[in-house]
Amino acid sequence: MKNSLMLFKIKRISKPAAHCAFTYLIENSFDKSRKNLMCCYRQATDHVSTDGVVIVLTLDKTSFQVRNRVVIRENNADLRDPKFSYDGSRLMLTTYAKSFLDKRKVVTKMVTFFSTTGYSWSTGNSHGRSGWWLWNNTFIT
C-alpha cells in the first residue's frame, strides 16, 4: 500500500523575512486541550549569514493563527537548525550556535533553551565540544 499525503490548506505563519528555514513543528506539550501547535525556525539575512535568530510560534491548530511569538538570540552568534524535545516536564529548544569572536576565530557549540510554559524561555545553556552538532534528541519514557 502506498502512503499518501493530502494537502488541505497552506497558510503563511511567519512575518516576511529575507530567509526563513529549518522549520520544526510539534503539538504544544503544555496544552491539555491539544488545540495548539508550536513551530520554531531560523530567520536570518540569508542561508550563510551570521545573524540567525530562532523564532518560536504558538499556533492555533485549526486556524493557524499565531497566539504567541518569541525571538531567541545569542549575543554575537548565529543560531541554526532549532529542534524541540520534551522530557515530560520541560520543553527544550536545542540549536547550533556559531559565535564570531573576531574576524578569524569562530567557535561552535550546542545551546539549549528551556521552557515550562511554551511562552517564555530560559537563557541559553551551552553543551558539547566545539564543532559537535546534535541534530535532534528524543526522550524515551
* pLDDT, block means (10 residues), the chain with 141 residues: 77 88 93 95 91 96 94 92 93 92 82 94 90 75 64
What confidence score (pLDDT) does residue 26 get? 94
In degrees, rounded to 5, the angle at the alpha carbon of residue 11 between the alpha carbons of residues 10 and 15 is 145
Left, alpha or beta for 87 (phi > 0: left; psi -120 to 50: alpha)?
A: alpha
Is residue 115 packed enough to be buried (19+ CB in 10 Å), middle (13-18) or exposed (0-12)?
Answer: buried
What confidence score (pLDDT) does residue 105 get? 82
What confidence score (pLDDT) does residue 132 get? 80
24-30's contacts with Cβ under 8 Å and 24+ in sequence apart are 24/82, 24/83, 24/84, 26/84, 26/86, 27/61, 28/58, 28/118, 29/86, 29/91, 29/118, 30/91, 30/116, 30/117, 30/118
